[in-house]
Amino acid sequence: MATIENPHAHGVDGPSRGEPAFLRTSTSGRDTTNSAIPGNTEKGSTMDAPRPSGDGQYSGARSSLRPRQEINISLPSLGASSLMGELPTTDPLTVLMQKHLPAHLRPTRDLSGSWPAVSATSAPPGHSTYPDPFSSDPYLDASASASAASAAAASAEQTGIHEQDVRDAVRTNSWRKIATLARNRIETYGEQQRDRIFRLQQRQQQRSQNLVSLDDEEELAQQQQRDLSLSQVLEWWSVRLYALARLRLYSMMTTELNAVWSILADTWISLPLPLSAGSARQPHNSDTKNKEQNRGNRDIQSAHDHDHDHDHNHEQSQIQIQSHCLTEFELDWIPFAIRVLRANEPKYARRDLRAAVDQCCGLLRDCKRKLALVRARSSRRTEVQVMQQQGEGEAQEQEQEQEQEVTLWHTRVLNLTLAVALLLSEAKDFASAIETVIPVVEYLVSTPSDSDLNFEEADLPKLEADTRIQLLLLISTLYVQAGDLDEADSIVNQARRIFQQLESENAATSSSNSNPETDARASWSERIETCRAKIRVRHATNLAVRGDYSSALSELRDLLQTRNGSTDPDPDPASRSSTTNAEPASILESTSGLELESPSNAAAGAGAGAGAGAETLDIITASNLGVLEFYSASLQRAIPRLESLLAGAANPTSNSESWIFNLVTLHELRSESPVMDKKRILASVGRWANDVGVSGAGLKL
């Protein structure tokens, strides 16, 4: 049964002993992690973030329901087709091709977002459906999972879209297909809920006439299990909004996001509470009830309103507490992806970075409080288990669920802290960005034996070594942007130290295990080699920023030769004859800033679907090597190296803004009329560019 409790009754607002600063919630003084906001009176200063009402206390009680637990309610307005706009059938790259390329040279690009007409029976045996391509929520209970499977099977029968189809669409950045699929499922939810309300009304009429049979009840229950639930349609909304953001359709994304948010803001949920839990609260007065009854046309049809007389008698022993959705259930019911997009909405809509930082800090504070509440609830459950002397199996299962929930919210706090730091760096407030990530660095480089961070008492989950390395390399880029190269090198050295420990542990495990699983061992070895390559690329980039081009070139060339045995391409005679004889200093002045790609941001730099794989990392290494060769006054080697990346079929470089900009800039420096080279690059990029594509500004046409 759902209960309402005050988290401060259990003292969860104070920081735990030994807890990192980025996980603490300040009740007095200033929280330096959350309060860094650009645009203050003094450079590098910080100001206090807005405090919640009640001197840091909650303005409303939080629900202790398990995350993602299903409540049988209906909200048909979330499935209205009027909330979603039509995807444009063109993009900047298509406009450039229509303007600069003749019809017979224009590559064909499918921007319709339609899925191929495939029969559902054509899927191979055991080929499962894929109802939610981004769902990683471990808190869906068994009934919700069964409902999702039933809805997925029905969807596959109607559309013929299966798991591998969706995975391929995500891997190839076909976000128009993903957005179209999400719209289809959202509209299906609206139709299902309208039909459900009609069936419930019809059943009430039949029940009043004693015409309801047991078969009718079972059929209605089975149909309800096949229908999409509220949590599932909200997940599909998060998929839809994320796909629009990846397509750079920010105006459409903000419009749809505001429409969904307005519906959720006007939604009130009625939860039944035990008399013992509700007796401590005063019931709402008549004005509040009238206001709740006049919320508009967005009514919630609760299952309690349509059940049998048994439920009516059950409700007589309950107190209906009306609670606003956005103050009590947003952290549990609204998908976290939607909340993050909502916090970043000012950045997408009007480039208001300060407002985005404010909202992200507010979301970060909510996550910290939620994490503290989860920990307090976990400790209370442990005490209850000891008192009740539960069985060993049941206790272990509950303990595992508690650990997963703590890990989930801890990861969200960590990711949001880094997101705030990146927003601050984008706003050129590097002092506040560095101040924000300092406690994160201390946590990432610490070990359980450190005295200042007691992991057992703070109950902090340990991140995997490769994840810690990747986060440290990402943070080092902030220090490079801020100009603190010494600290950036120190962080890279810390990442190298963690990698050495990881490598030694892997060697010890391999030697002790005589019969390791081949696939698992190969996958782990590949992850280790990828970490090694990322560290070397980051180190070479830091050397290049310091101006030590020879050492950086040597590092990258050795890395390429080690990974795939590639050798440096022979200088192009044409490029050698066209190379200017100007001094390197004069060449650098005319580059307009060639860009080095970072392996920590490989997905954005190379457009490689879900992350930076081995192929993407090699492309980034070769691209950076070409740029460094130019900085070393070797233009005759830089252009052939970057051109060689253009030859591959379906190459991720076709979606890299920095790579296109670098190649076009080098051609401008080599030739007085580089228009033909630009058109050739445009034709090649247009052939393999995915739905995300490029803005076209890097082509300089």
pLDDT tens string 157-166? 455 677 788 8
List the one residue out of 267, 275, 254 whose CA is nearest residue 298: 267
Residue 679 belongs to some domain of the structure: yes
Average pLDDT over residues 256-260: 93
Residue 681 belongs to what H/E stretch? Answer: helix 675-688
List of residues 6+ apart from 697 with CB closer than 8 A: 657, 661
- Specify the number of domains making up the chain: 2
Residue 5 belongs to what H/E stretch? Answer: strand 4-5
Under DSSP, is residue 356 helix (H, G, I), strand (E, B) or coil?
Answer: helix
pLDDT bucket at 296, cuts 50 / 70 / 90:
very low
CA angle 231, 232, 233 (to 5 degrees): 95
Residue with tokens 């910290």: 368
Q: Rounded to an integer, what distance in angstroms lies between the CA atom of residue 610 and that of residue 606?
A: 11
List the one residue out of 324, 260, 320 whose CA is nearest residue 291: 324
Q: Using the 8-state DSSP alphabet, how is residue 449 labeled?
A: T
List the one residue out of 541, 546, 531, 545 whose CA is nearest residue 471: 531
SS3 content of the chain, % helix, strand, coil (to 5): 65, 5, 35
Q: What is the pLDDT of residue 355?
A: 94
Higher pLDDT, 549 or 266: 549
Q: What is the pLDDT of residue 52?
A: 30
- In one-letter notation, the amino acid at residue 293 is Q
Residue 567 belongs to some domain of the structure: yes
Q: What is the pLDDT of residue 250?
A: 92
Show the tokens assigned to 4.
Answer: 């309402």
Residue with tokens 């229509």: 98
- In one-letter notation, the amino acid at residue 502 is L
Residue 3 belongs to some domain of the structure: no
Show the tokens assigned to 333.
Answer: 């019911």
Q: What percent of the chain has pLDDT over 70?
A: 57
Q: Rounded to an integer, what distance in angstroms lies between the CA atom of residue 490 and that of residue 20?
A: 20
Q: For the residues of 530-595, what is the DSSP string, one character each?
A: HHHHHHHHHHHHHHHHHT-HHHHHHHHHHHHHHHH---PPPPPHHHHHH-----HHHHHHTSS---
Q: What is the CA radius of gyration of the chain?
A: 28
Q: Is pLDDT at 94 greater than 80 in this prediction?
A: yes
Determine contact, residues 598/614, Cβ cutoff 8 Å: no
3-state per-residue secondary structure call for 484-534: CHHHHHHHHHHHHHHHHHHHHHHHHHHHHCCCCCHHHHHHHHHHHHHHHHH
Question: What is the number of alpha carbons within 13 Å of residue 458 lying toward its C-beta?
Answer: 22
Q: What is the pLDDT of residue 331?
A: 57
Q: What are the start-end ranges of the H helices in 209-229?
A: 214-226
**Which of 16-25, 298-307, 597-606 is predicted least confidently?**
298-307
Q: What percent of the chain has pLDDT over 90?
A: 21
Show the tokens assigned to 546.
Answer: 């310091």
Q: What is the pLDDT of residue 381?
A: 63
pLDDT bucket at 278, cuts 50 / 70 / 90:
very low
Q: How many CB atoms lie within 10 A of CB 623?
A: 25
Strand positions, DSSP E, 286-336: 301-302, 318-324
Determine contact, residues 32/230, Cβ cutoff 8 Å: no
Q: Where does residue 358 rank: exposed (0-12), middle (13-18), buried (19+ CB within 10 A)?
A: middle
Average pLDDT over residues 312-320: 35
Residue 621 belongs to some domain of the structure: yes
Q: Using the 8-state DSSP alphabet, how is residue 23 labeled?
A: G
Q: Is pLDDT at 506 greater than 60 in this prediction?
A: yes
**Which of 88-97, 204-213, 606-615 is predicted least confidently?**
606-615
Last residue of a domain, one of 265, 294, 318: 265
Last residue of a domain, one of 219, 244, 265: 265
Q: Is pLDDT at 606 greater than 80 in this prediction?
A: no
Q: Is pLDDT at 493 greater than 90 in this prediction?
A: yes
pLDDT bucket at 495, cuts 50 / 70 / 90:
very high
Determine contact, residues 596/627, Cβ cutoff 8 Å: yes
Residue 593 belongs to some domain of the structure: yes
Q: Is pLDDT at 437 greater than 70 in this prediction?
A: yes
Q: Is pLDDT at 65 greater than 80 in this prediction?
A: no
Q: Enter the pTM of the model.
A: 0.72
What's the sign of the alpha-carbon dihedral 475, 481, 483, 486?
positive
Q: Is pLDDT at 542 greater than 60 in this prediction?
A: yes
Residue 423 belongs to some domain of the structure: no
Mean pLDDT in the chain? 69
pLDDT tens per residue, range 394-422: 667 777 788 888 888 888 999 999 999 99
Under DSSP, is residue 323 helix (H, G, I), strand (E, B) or coil?
Answer: strand
pLDDT tens per residue, range 2-47: 332 333 333 333 334 345 555 555 434 334 333 332 333 333 333 3
Max distance between CA atoms of the chain, in angstroms, equals 97
Highest mean pLDDT among 226-235, 354-363, 378-387: 354-363
Residue 283 belongs to some domain of the structure: no
Q: Is 54 left (phi over 0), alpha (psi -120 to 50) or beta?
A: left
Question: What is the number of alpha carbons within 13 Å of residue 84 lying toward its C-beta?
Answer: 25
Under DSSP, is residue 63 helix (H, G, I), strand (E, B) or coil?
Answer: strand
Q: What is the pLDDT of residue 438?
A: 93
Show the tokens assigned to 471.
Answer: 């986060």
Residue 39's alpha-carbon distances to 350, 356, 424, 505, 593, in angstroms, are: 17, 13, 10, 46, 27
Last residue of a domain, one of 265, 281, 315: 265
**Which domain covers residue 107, as residue numbers?**
73-265
Q: Is 211 left (phi over 0), alpha (psi -120 to 50) or beta?
A: alpha
Average pLDDT over residues 460-488: 88
Residue 6 belongs to some domain of the structure: no
**Which of 188-202, 566-580, 656-670 is predicted least confidently?**
566-580
